[in-house]
Structure 1
Amino acid sequence: MKIIVPMAGRGSRLRPHSLTVPKPLIPVAGQPIVHRLVKDIAKVLKQPIDEVAFVLGDPAWFGDDVVKSLEALAKGLGAKASIYRQDKPLGTGHAIMCAKPSLSGPAVIAYADTLIRAEFDLDTEADSVIWTKQVENPEAYGVVKLNNNNEIVELVEKPETFVSDQAVIGIYYFKDVAVLKNKLQEVLDENVMNGGEYQINDGIKRMMADGKVFKIGTVDEWMDCGNKEITVLTNGKMLNFLQSDGEEQLVASSVKLENSNIIEPCFVGENVVLKNTTVGPHVSIGNGTVIENSTVKNSLIQTNTSIKNANLDNAMIGNNVKYNGNFTSISIGDYSVLE
């Protein structure tokens, strides 16, 4: 089994945090988004992963540190890492085709901007499984249309009338991903574009027209990391799941507490110092950060940051920040100084 991860986008909706770190590499609950996504997909698959192929953008943006991080992620799953580049933002279908040498055999394609929690048996005999989440407002999403056999017969974008409540979340299984590759090659050769881009849906629709069987795999939780507000919310949800799982150490043994306390669930990284401070619930703090005379809840704070005299709630603060003030709901990018 392979996992193909297109992740070349810059994540403009998450700025300023994605100005210096690619969005899929921004930590949520202590691990980069793409790391958590790939590991959770591997758990659902319940079978060996042979290869993880990553489609990155410009090397000036997705540099050697990013590549090393992704290689370590694949190695941790017992898989080899393949690195490809998408030089131009020409859509989801184009991104997949950038990994053309890896497009053979059974594979999952997953776009690295969401997190999931799922527990279902993947139907590996179907030609494809499109992963979905039941939603209350399907008119706001791309959804699947099902026949009486619970097979997908159509993809409908933001339907004005009810089609189904199963929203497409951007994760797909293909029994032989080479079939999708061939259809996407037709899309590229014929220059079929939607919104000025080559889309994965156009390849999928051609597979459906050929009679390929598509089924759904419904996830329990689908958590977006599109902007600051929803990323902070996702961080809190993920911390709840991790606390319930009990599989990860969320508070490092090297954390130093001076007249401070931590209200779980929280992630607190290595060599964090808390002085006269209450942290939690639903707070993630990266390695080497120092927080003094503060109260912090429902927030994401990255590495090597200094915070003083703060009362933070629904805040997202980047790496190497210095912050001293009394604002509450804030969003501060890397290397900022507010004193």
Structure 2
Amino acid sequence: MKIIVPMAGRGSRLRPHSLTVPKPLIPVAGQPIVHRLVKDIVKVLKQPIEEIAFVLGDPAWFGDDVVESLKNLATSLGAKPSIYRQDQPLGTGHAIMCAEPSLSGPAVIAYADTLIRAKFDLDPEADSVIWTKRVANPEAYGVVKLNDNQEIVELVEKPESFVSDQAVIGIYYFKDVSVLKGKLQEILDENIMNGGEYQINDGIKRMMAEGRIFKTGTVDEWMDCGNKSVTLDTNTKMLGFLKADGEEQLIANSVKSNNSTIIEPCCIGENVVLNNATVGPNVSIGNNCTIDNSTVKNSLIQTHTTIKNANLDNAMIGNHVSYDGKFTSISIGDYSILE
């Protein structure tokens, strides 16, 4: 089994936090989004992973440190790492084809801006599985249309009338991904674009037209990281899941707490100093931070940041920030000073 991760986008909706760090590398509950996504997929698949291929953007943005991080992730999971580049933002189908040498055999394709919680077995009768989540407002999403055998027969984008309540979340399994590769190559050769981009859906629709069997794999939780509000909500949900699982140490042994209170669930990194602070619930703090005379809850703080005299709730703060002030629900990017 292979995992293909297109992640070349800049993550403009998450600015200012994605101005200096690619969105898939922004930590949620103590680990970068893409690291958690890949690890969760490996858990769901429950089989050895041969290769993990990452499709990155401009080397000036996705530099050597990013490449090294992703290679280490793949190696830690017993897989061969492969790095590809998408030099132009030409859509999901184009991004997948940038990993063309890796497109053979069984594979999962997963876009690195979402997290999941799921437990199910892949249907051995299916040529492909499209992972979905039941939603209350399907008209806001791309959804699947099913036949009487619960096979996917159509993909419908933001339907005006009810088609189904199963929204496509951007994770796909292919029994033989080379079939998709062939269809996407046709799309590229024929220059078939939607919205000025080559789309994975056009390749999938050609597979369906040939009678390929597509099934759904419904996830229990689908957590987006598209903007500040939903990223904080995802951080809260993930902390709850991790606390219940008990599989990760969420509070580092090196945390120094002076006259301070930690209300779990929280994820607190290495060499964090808490002075006269109340932290939690639902707070993630990166390495080498200091929190002085402050109350912090429902918030996400990255690394090397100092917080003083603050009462934070639903705040997202970047790396190397110095903040001393009265504002509560804030969003501050890297290397900012507010004193």
TM interval, shorter chain, is over 0.9
What is the alpha-carbon root mean square deviation over aligned residues?
Answer: 0.4
Residue 67 of structure 1 is matched in structure 2 by 67
Residue 209 of structure 2 is matched in structure 1 by 209
- Could you list the runs of 5+ residues in structure 1 that have no partner in the other structure? none
Displacement, 1:66?
Answer: 0.2
1:119 aligns with 2:119: yes
Residue 248 of structure 2 is matched in structure 1 by 248
Residue 109 of structure 2 is matched in structure 1 by 109
Query: What do residues 46-71 of structure 1 show as CA deviations (whole Å, max 9, x unaligned)?
Result: 00000000000000000000000000
CA distance in 2, matches of 1:202, 1:56: 22
Query: What do residues 71-109 of structure 1 show as CA deviations (whole Å, max 9, x unaligned)?
Result: 011011100100000000000000000000000000000
1:306 aligns with 2:313: no
For the residue of structure 1 that corresponds to 2:242, the secondary structure is: helix
Displacement, 1:123?
Answer: 1.4
Residue 262 of structure 1 is matched in structure 2 by 262
CA distance in 2, matches of 1:125, 1:162: 28
CA distance in 2, matches of 1:141, 1:338: 38
CA distance in 2, matches of 1:4, 1:57: 14
What is the identity, as a one-letter code, of the residue corresponding to 1:249? Q
Alignment: residue pair count? 339
CA distance in 2, matches of 1:123, 1:214: 10
Residue 153 of structure 2 is matched in structure 1 by 153
Residue 220 of structure 2 is matched in structure 1 by 220
Displacement, 1:257?
Answer: 0.2
Q: Percent identity, aligned pairs only?
A: 84
Q: Which runs of 4+ in 1 moved over 4 A?
A: none
1:98 aligns with 2:114: no
1:236 aligns with 2:236: yes
Residue 164 of structure 1 is matched in structure 2 by 164
1:84 aligns with 2:95: no
Query: What do residues 246-304 of structure 1 show as CA deviations (whole Å, max 9, x unaligned)?
Result: 00000000000000010000000000000000000000000000000000000000000
CA contact (8 A) 1:125 1:175 kept: no
CA contact (8 A) 1:292 1:308 kept: yes
Q: Taking structure 2 as the reference length, what is the TM-score of the superposition? A: 1.00
CA distance in 2, matches of 1:124, 1:76: 28
Query: What do residues 156-176 of structure 1 show as CA deviations (whole Å, max 9, x unaligned)?
Result: 000011000000000000000
Displacement, 1:124?
Answer: 3.6
User: Do the aligned partners of residues 254 and 39 (structure 1) sit closer, same or farther apart at CA in structure 2, a change above 3 Å counting?
Assistant: same
Displacement, 1:125?
Answer: 3.4
What is the identity, as a one-letter code, of the residue corresponding to 2:145? K
User: Do the aligned partners of residues 280 and 136 (structure 1) sit closer, same or farther apart at CA in structure 2, a change above 3 Å counting?
Assistant: same
CA contact (8 A) 1:288 1:305 kept: yes
CA distance in 2, matches of 1:328, 1:262: 19
For the residue of structure 2 that corresponds to 1:155, the secondary structure is: strand
Query: What do residues 173-227 of structure 1 show as CA deviations (whole Å, max 9, x unaligned)?
Result: 0000000000000000000000000000000000000000000000000000000
For the residue of structure 2 that corresponds to 1:9, the secondary structure is: coil
Q: What is the 5 A alignment of 1:27-46?
A: 27-46=27-46
Q: Taking structure 1 as the reference length, what is the TM-score of the superposition? A: 1.00
For the residue of structure 2 that corresponds to 1:167, the secondary structure is: strand
- Could you list the runs of 5+ residues in structure 2 that have no partner in the other structure? none
